[in-house]
Structure 1
Amino acid sequence: MAACIDLSRIPHIPGRLHATNNPYQRYGPKGFMETKILPNDDLYVRVDLPGVPDDAIRLRVDAVRQKVVFFSGEEVLGDGDNAHDVREYSGTAGLGCDCCEITGVDAKMKDGVLRMILTRVKVKDHDNNNNKCTHFLPPNAGKSGRYDVNSLVMVEVEEHPYVVKGRKDTLATNRTSDGCFRFSVDMPGVCSDDVFVIPNQNEIKFYGENKEVYEHDESCRIFLGAISNRQCCSFGIPLLSHDIAWDAEFGVLKVRVSPPPRNNHN
């Protein structure tokens, strides 16, 4: 069955950058972390941890600071990936008040995104007349963006604040000893069925959309970008003469561009 992309669903966003956490994200909630107070007063937290397998995240509740500490094992190392690019993550999310305690954490890791629902209980009254307590909300990391089409100055893309080991950039590129070019793009929330890679003679375009939107997420997220043939071609060989293969796993798109085999005939 042929697949198609409904480009009419992508809203027009002036400029090249939608969010400073990911230069290829063109639509959807921005930032490395998203927090929301639910109607029942639970706290919903969404954290992007691209590359982390679904079963590789660990959690613990810090009873002193009333926060959930999350940390991961190493990102899965793919064939041809650089070992120094392999990432590990660590961070916190939780409450900022002294009147409540975290009583439960319902967490799920899928496609490079950690989603948590934190339940709490009030253990003491406030000293003042304000009955509302505060929640710990992290800095708006990666939520700013550039929309000025008349400006030629790009906003600097932020590094991932929860990476404690490995690369912090959204895009990773390398060439292997056999002449292949590889690049990886973070698309948290996107699986292999949600990715399109479209090469032409000038570039390799890629598109990803997390079509399965979690009930508490603001909306889906759409990623769109391209790699120029000058970056991924072997010298003197047209791009479309290469073998181009791709896959997406744990919220990371990985593309391999292999030159054609050499002709050994005289």
Structure 2
Amino acid sequence: MSKSGSSSGNMSQGSSGSDVPNNPPPIQGIYATNNQFLKAGPKGFIHVKVLENDNLHVRVDLPGVPDDGVRHRVDAVRKKLVFFSGETPAGNQREGVREYSGSAGLGCDCCEITGVDAKMKDGVLRMIVSRVKVKDHDKKCTHTVPPNAGKSGRLLEDHPFLVKGRKGAVVGVPLPGDGLYFAVDIPGVCCDDVEVLANEHEVRFYAEVKNVDEHDESGRVYLGCVISCSSSSDPLPSILTQTIAYDAEFGVLKIVIAPRNSTNSE
């Protein structure tokens, strides 16, 4: 973990929490169906837009996937789709491995994909898909977008491209010695964009994308908390008496709450 501390502070209300083990409370009035912690900015697991030069910009959230951990290829037969896949590192047994696989591309008959420039950063895959017109067509060119892109609502939706691993945006794992480990999806955010503060029995986080991508209408803002709880009748020690360490890597915020002098570490 790159940052640590045991500071306290107040943040704005209305954030979502999660118990340990992973058992989130009912969620109401969430901003985006893909992540209960997303409070502002682009919604959806995927977004496709047409650029001024008629190329396509494709943004896909793949939280946890390293910058060099994604693969892509163009359908060699019809040249209409870009297939992409990726997986999270196998070393972190607390979260388990997640694997993603999906596609995006053209819905028209008149164009073909000629190339893809892909970049993976902070848990977000961005692709510039170039295309060329191969035959005349009276209808407007279209692109394919999954039905659950960019929506808001009161119920969360599963990631459409997740083929293995945890589905939720947050997971909590008990650690030896009364420690706790949390992982929260915040795709697009790096460690320098995150603030973590604590009070007696919860750790609140605020994350805001400072370096907005040129093709996004705005940056994203995440706000939430993780809650220290117990199934026993024994009172919990105050979080303020424990050590809090956190880091954000590949679009996932990782928080460790551990008794001071504990050896629990990432």
TM-score category of the 2 structures, normalised to the smaller one: 0.7 to 0.9
Q: Deviations over 1:219-253 (max 9, x none)?
A: 10000001223269995411111111000000000
- Cα gap change, 1:90 to 1:38, in 2 (>3 Å): same
User: For structure 2, which runs of at least 5 residues remain unmatched after alignment?
Assistant: 1-10, 13-27
Is 1:49 aligned to 2:62, yes or no? Answer: yes
Partner of 1:122: 133
Between the aligned partners of 1:132 and 1:187, the Cα distance in structure 2 is 35
- Alignment of 1:99 onto 2:107: no
Q: Which residue of 1 aligns with 2:185?
A: 186
Question: What is the aligned partner in structure 2 of residue 148 from structure 1?
Answer: none
> Does the 8 Å CA contact 1:181/1:232 hold for their aligned counterparts?
no
Counterpart AA for 1:67: L
One-letter amino acid of the structure 2 residue matched with residue 22 of structure 1: N
Gaps of 5+ in 1: 1-6, 9-14, 146-154
Separation in structure 2 between the aligned mates of residue 166 and residue 34 of structure 1, nearest angstrom: 23
Other-structure match for 2:251: 251
Alpha-carbon distance between aligned partners in 1 of 2:243 and 2:88, rounded to the nearest angstrom: 26
In 2, Cα distance between the equivalents of 1:179 and 1:170? Answer: 23
Which shifted more, 26-35 or 201-210? Answer: 201-210
Contact kept, 8 Å, 2:42 with 2:150, in 1: the verdict is: no
Whether 2:148 is the aligned partner of 1:140: answer yes
- Distance in 1 (CA, whole Å) between partners of 2:244 and 2:160 is 32
| Compared CA separation, residues 232 and 119, structure 1 to 2 (3 A) | farther
CA distance in 2, matches of 1:135, 1:123: 16
Superposition deviation, residue 89 in structure 1: 0.6
Q: Percent same amino acid at aligned positions?
A: 57
Which residue does the alignment assign to 1:202? Answer: 201
2:177 and 2:103 mapped to 1: Cα distance? 42
Alignment CA distance shift 1:258-1:232 (3 Å): farther
Q: Cα gap change, 1:228/1:177 in structure 2, threshold over 3 Å: closer, same or farther?
A: closer
On the 8 A contact 1:80/1:176 being kept in 2, the answer is: no
Supply the distance in 2 between the matched residues of 1:194 and 1:133 (Cα, whole angstroms). Answer: 38
Q: Find the aligned partners of 2:54 and 2:149 in 1 and give their Cα distance.
A: 24
Q: Is the 8 A contact 2:82 2:105 kept in 1?
A: yes
Deviation for aligned residue 1:192:
0.5
Q: Give the aligned residue type for 1:51.
A: G
Paired residue type of 1:39: E
Q: Which residue of 2 aligns with 1:17?
A: 30
SS at match of 2:151: coil
> Is 1:68 matched up with 2:82?
yes
Structure 1 position 141, deviation (Å): 3.5
Q: Residues 231 and 100 (structure 1 numbering): CA distance in 2 closer, same or farther, change over 3 Å? A: farther
Partner of 2:120: 109
Greater CA radius of gyration, 1 or 2? Answer: 1
Distance (whole Å) between structure 2 residues aligned to residue 201 and residue 169 of structure 1: 25
Query: What is the DSSP-based 3-state SS (H/G/I as helix, E as strand, rest coil) of the residue aligned with 2:240?
Result: helix
Aligned residues: 236
The 1-side partners of 2:157 and 2:143 are apart by: 24
**Aligned partners of 1:32, 1:216: CA distance in 2, in Å?**
16
